[in-house]
Structure 1
Amino acid sequence: MTSTETRHDLTGTVVGRLAALAAEIRTTGLPAELRKDVARRVLDLLGNSLAAHDQPSARAVTEVARNWSGAAAATGIGTGERFPAATAALVNGTLAHSMDYSDDTHLPSVLHPSASVIPAALAVGEAVGASGAAVLDAAGVGIEIVVRLGMGGYDEELGNSEFFERGQHATSICGAVGSAAAAAVLYGLEAEGIADAMGIAASFGAGLLEANRTGGTVKRTHCGWAAHSGVTSAEFARAGLTGPPTVIEGRFGFLHAFCGDRADTAKVLDGLGEHWELPGIFFKPYPCNHFTHAGIDAARALVRDGLDPADIVEIQLGVPNPVLRTIAEPPASKAAPESGYHAAFSGPFTVARALLGGSGLGVGHADFTDAAAKDPRTLELARLVTSYSDDRCDEIYPHQFSAVLRVRTRDGSWHEARVDHNRGGPANPLSDDELTMKFDLNVEGRLSPESAAEVAGTALALPAAESLDALMATVRG
């Protein structure tokens, strides 16, 4: 139901226009190519979620979720259980973000939208019996809203996200709002109700980035809480709670509160409904922080050209200046990360593993265990890495996370590889076969090859599915 109080006029407001797009997409559907794109992201997320069950964050959140009561309406991926929709979204969003592998990345906002929006859409879609196409439509428009809000906090002059400059995790902050839109669409709310859900969720999104620098596993729960907040906000709106009409652009609204005077509301609406950011969002080929990927690819290129890691005496890693704080500072801890999780945020460590051969599609889960983080040969190479700000990388950032790797060998010669276009993006895409291979690597030891093939085929066929029942049954565990 909707609120009986006097409604505010949403005409011309940012949340009103976003909600109108979401309501329109529920009626008209996404274009076929965008539905396929979202289905690929569902497959990507399911694989990463199934791989994450041994992670402390996933165990902790699932344990807490089991103590919450409510109707068993939606699947907790790999748990063998069903939970209330908001609880399932919490569990699955935490799983999705726990391995830093399913975090598709939008540039230049530097957001990971699918890890919150898709768990919210899957949970509500399963609970209400929505078709596969309806879930993909809701998730697609929710993802679009997330990245557009992120763009509202991107400062061209600064060359970086104002959210990040202030230590805020824009992925979860914006993710709660996009998740609310997706959930509200699937609950059948009209444009006013969708706007209310987003307005409510704007009060619930949160997340600080200090864990990236100094440790702690709480960041892994951010996308789960964003998904949970989104579903809960849609349920509140469904019950009659309302949000402010100027929640995005107002003096005390979303963008000004988080980004201050550097916020740019116009970017949120630029080309809305005509130009879709969705298909340009990067898939991640490696289970580590996206800032490290170009360095990995540069290392792999040098090895393919015949470089012998045993001959290396010096390594220089050039990256965009804003990236240094995440993957290179403080230098001592990045050269010798305290755990496998921290290793995934280290430029020196990831370059070293790639030089030594890595695993999976280049580097894989085996490279980020706690044992791998203590591997003497890897740490010896990582200590040789000096990270610096490269001018060309600064020019490209944040439209690409580029890198240049320069290596000096014992004979005094230098070897260089520069990567300007990230693997997994529009200029260097992953095929369906490569995404399926990534899924297979994620679920190895958890699903039989036959079951893995069934999940992959069912996920990619979602545009034609009558419901989510078949898909969620294959991943319930």
Structure 2
Amino acid sequence: MTSISQTIASAATQIGLEDIPEKVQVRARHLLLDSIGVGIAASHTDFAEVAMKGLASLDPGDVPVIGRSQTLSKSGAAIANGLMIHGHDFDDTHIAAVSHVSASSLAAVISAAAGSTSVSLGDLLVGYILAIEVNARLGMAVDGQFHDKGFHPTGVLGAFGSAIGVGRLSGLTADQLVSAQGIAGSFSSGILQFLDEGAPTKRLHPGWAANAGLHAASLAAAGFEGPTEIYEGRFGLYRTHLQDRSAPSADLFTNLGEVWEVENVAVKPFPTCHFTHSFIDIATRLREDPAFDFEQIESITAKIHDVPAKVVCEPIEDKLRPRSEYDAKFSLPFLTAAALKHGRITFAELDESARSEEDVLTAAALVTVEHDEASLYPKAFSGDLTVALKGGAILHEAELVNRGHESRPLSNDEVKAKFDECVVPVLGAQQAAEIRSAITDSSSDTAAAVLIGAFNG
């Protein structure tokens, strides 16, 4: 019987750029652009400075880091680039997998390609796309259940996708790719305890996944063997991480190269947890109602599925007064209240001064969370919001499918606009335009066109 890892490896060795439809390649370029953009936006934050200091103390290297003039080893750069892309929680998500697929995928292939003069942007795209395709399918298999068990699928699944992306870029055989996945199983990690303490460790998850994939592929290339049934085995991924969940069959992976999950990756409109986006959009619309008055809010009822509620609504006492920017990004009560007051959620609404606005915190304390029977989770991140005003007016709206979802995607032009919003304040308009052109122009076909333009901090 063919294992899941063998099915994946067989397909991954056979798919070339010519097998990937043009529209998929174009969308992948724009996902790559979005990832570079949000990475540059994060590149000189306090958390980036701390991470770079820690990584630079381990070992030197000449691999570029997004938005920085410093370089690191392949391993260090994989961690740093994953952190930069994911740092603001503004990076893309495959919704059905509930996984941030680009952050680890791109960080891994950048390190794999670094130093090579023969790797084209087409080669880079193939590795990047395959990493996304594998990451997405592994998460799709279990309907968002990793979060429910306390695991962050971005870190857990990203290691396997990264191993495939790096392995494909490095020319591994099918047998070696099987071993790479088996090895990655011992490296994959990422737990959600940060939610209870407001710690920033989630930022490290995709970078560590990229680093895990990088090492797994390198070890497999050297002849190190990994278990074949790393997904479905008695102590494989699904049975260890989900305990009571049977492993999926290999059938889910037989359409690799035929169905492209890259087209279903959602680009974020807000730099917050994806589970909150419907509520932010609803809040900004409700405040436009003629009856709305922020100072007259009496109560707010937010309905959300129980699984995402564990992430953005619990423990409720911490969500009402976020202790940090990262806390705020994962607080449905705070973000709803801030959106009701300001009509937007940007980096400005998450900074220290904004988090201490007493009228916003007072409104957040008025939020009651209920289970949403109508939610489409995990197929979409639904939201249902009711705002009751002291004068008796009741404002209500439900959004079953969040903006950015595969059925409501941000267009490629909107992705470019988001890129400019992230990059122009950091690097200026001219360099932003040069990077954008290098990545999205189909005539640009060298990895250097992407790397050199994006890594001059």
TM-score tier, shorter chain, comes to over 0.9
**Cα distance in 2, alignment partners of residues 274 and 94 from structure 1:** 31
In the alignment, is residue 239 of structure 1 matched against residue 219 of structure 2?
no
Residues 75-474 of structure 1: pairs in structure 2 closer than 5 A? 75-102=64-91, 104-129=92-117, 130-154=119-143, 160-161=144-145, 163-266=146-249, 268-269=252-253, 271-306=255-290, 307-358=292-343, 362-393=344-375, 396-461=376-441, 463-474=442-453
The residue type equivalent to 1:290 in the other structure is H
SS in structure 1 at match of 2:384: strand
The residue type equivalent to 1:388 in the other structure is E
Deviation (angstroms), 1:77 = 0.9
**Cα distance in 2, alignment partners of residues 256 and 443 from structure 1:** 42
Task: Determine if contact 2:17/2:122 at 8 Å carries over to the other structure.
Answer: no
Deviation (angstroms), 1:71 = 4.6
Change (3 A) 1:264 1:247: closer
- Matched residue, 1:44: 34
SS in structure 1 at match of 2:314: coil
Task: Determine if contact 1:340/1:371 at 8 Å carries over to the other structure.
Answer: no
Task: Determine if contact 1:249/1:256 at 8 Å carries over to the other structure.
Answer: yes
SS in structure 2 at match of 1:245: coil
TM-score, normalising length: structure 2? 0.94
Deviation (angstroms), 1:70 = 5.3
SS in structure 1 at match of 2:422: helix
Deviation (angstroms), 1:39 = 1.0
The residue type equivalent to 2:428 in the other structure is S
- Matched residue, 1:8: none
**Cα distance in 2, alignment partners of residues 114 and 382 from structure 1:** 32
In structure 1, list runs of 5 or more residues that go unmatched.
1-10, 155-159
Change (3 A) 1:201 1:328: same
Deviation (angstroms), 1:28 = 4.2
Residue range with higher mean Cα deviation, 105-114 or 21-30: 21-30
**Cα distance in 2, alignment partners of residues 386 and 252 from structure 1:** 40
Per-residue CA deviations over 1:60-115 (Å, capped at 9, x if unaligned) read 3211222233552x31112213333222111100111211101x222332111111
Task: Determine if contact 1:75/1:81 at 8 Å carries over to the other structure.
Answer: yes
Task: Determine if contact 2:95/2:405 at 8 Å carries over to the other structure.
Answer: no
Deviation (angstroms), 1:165 = 2.2
Residue range with higher mean Cα deviation, 345-354 or 424-433: 424-433
The residue type equivalent to 1:279 in the other structure is E
The residue type equivalent to 1:51 in the other structure is A
**Cα distance in 2, alignment partners of residues 415 and 325 from structure 1:** 25
Change (3 A) 1:413 1:174: same
The residue type equivalent to 2:216 in the other structure is S
SS in structure 2 at match of 1:145: helix
In structure 2, list runs of 5 or more residues that go unmatched.
none
Per-residue CA deviations over 1:267-317 (Å, capped at 9, x if unaligned) read 642633332222112111100001100000111111233333233222111
Deviation (angstroms), 1:441 = 2.1
Change (3 A) 1:381 1:114: same
Task: Determine if contact 1:193/1:238 at 8 Å carries over to the other structure.
Answer: yes
**Cα distance in 2, alignment partners of residues 85 and 34 from structure 1:** 28
Deviation (angstroms), 1:433 = 2.3
**Cα distance in 2, alignment partners of residues 390 and 27 from structure 1:** 43
User: How many aligned positions are there?
Assistant: 453
Per-residue CA deviations over 1:211-258 (Å, capped at 9, x if unaligned) read 023221111111111111111111112222121222222212222222
**Cα distance in 2, alignment partners of residues 447 and 54 from structure 1:** 11
Q: Percent same amino acid among aligned pairs?
A: 32
**Cα distance in 2, alignment partners of residues 202 and 28 from structure 1:** 30
The CA RMSD measured in Å over matched residues stands at 1.9
**Cα distance in 2, alignment partners of residues 444 and 186 from structure 1:** 31
Task: Determine if contact 2:386/2:395 at 8 Å carries over to the other structure.
Answer: yes
**Cα distance in 1, alignment partners of residues 242 and 314 from structure 2:** 24
**Cα distance in 2, alignment partners of residues 310 and 85 from structure 1:** 53
**Cα distance in 1, alignment partners of residues 429 and 280 from structure 2:** 28
Change (3 A) 1:436 1:27: closer
The residue type equivalent to 1:416 in the other structure is H
**Cα distance in 2, alignment partners of residues 304 and 127 from structure 1:** 53
**Cα distance in 1, alignment partners of residues 295 and 332 from structure 2:** 19
- Matched residue, 1:26: 16
TM-score, normalising length: structure 1? 0.90
Task: Determine if contact 2:271/2:346 at 8 Å carries over to the other structure.
Answer: yes
Deviation (angstroms), 1:187 = 0.9
The residue type equivalent to 2:314 in the other structure is E
- Matched residue, 1:35: 25
